[in-house]
Structure 1
């Protein structure tokens, strides 16, 4: 039996608030990506430019996925995270 999923109108996905990560590129400029939309990444010379470009990339990603009948993931929420961050450290640091 084929798994049937509900396909919502494209306007639904375009109206969602996807978190954007912006960071400096080692070679200059800035990079922005939306981790919830795999491959949705862009670059620009300034934070303002990269912010504008990622918005264009987000819309294009969603439109292409919707046209190709690819499942569009919903944005992650804070409720999905426990708040715990486990890190192994050397014994000499733990002793302090």
Structure 2
């Protein structure tokens, strides 16, 4: 068994809680009431996503060749 690492993005929702997405795993989205809850839900969602890929004989995406940066753009409002 090997351990993989995935970035997760947490977005605070206006009605409360956090929506979590996993950029490397399209459609892997979950929600938690608190940040720790959202992170726990993300871990579970990733595990289930990967189990499904394995069951269907599909390749497991990794982030080994992923580069990340932040881009700032001016907004004239």
Cα-Cα RMSD: 2.3
The aligned length equals 75
Where does residue 41 of structure 1 map in the other structure? 29
The structure in which a higher percent of residues are helix is: 1
Where does residue 27 of structure 1 map in the other structure? 15
Q: CA deviation at 1:84?
A: 8.2
- Can you give the 5+ residue segments of structure 2 that lack an aligned partner in the other structure? none
What aligned pairs does 1:1-96 form with structure 2 within 5 A after superposition?
A: 11-12=1-2, 15-75=3-63, 76-78=65-67, 85=71, 87=73
SS at match of 2:51: helix
**Separation of aligned partners in 1, 2:29 and 2:6:** 13
Given the superposition, is the C-alpha separation of residues 88 and 72 from structure 1 closer, same or farther in structure 2, using an over 3 Å criterion? same
Q: CA deviation at 1:69?
A: 1.0
Give the number of the structure whose alpha-carbon radius of gyration is greater. 1
TM value normalised by structure 1: 0.65
TM value normalised by structure 2: 0.78
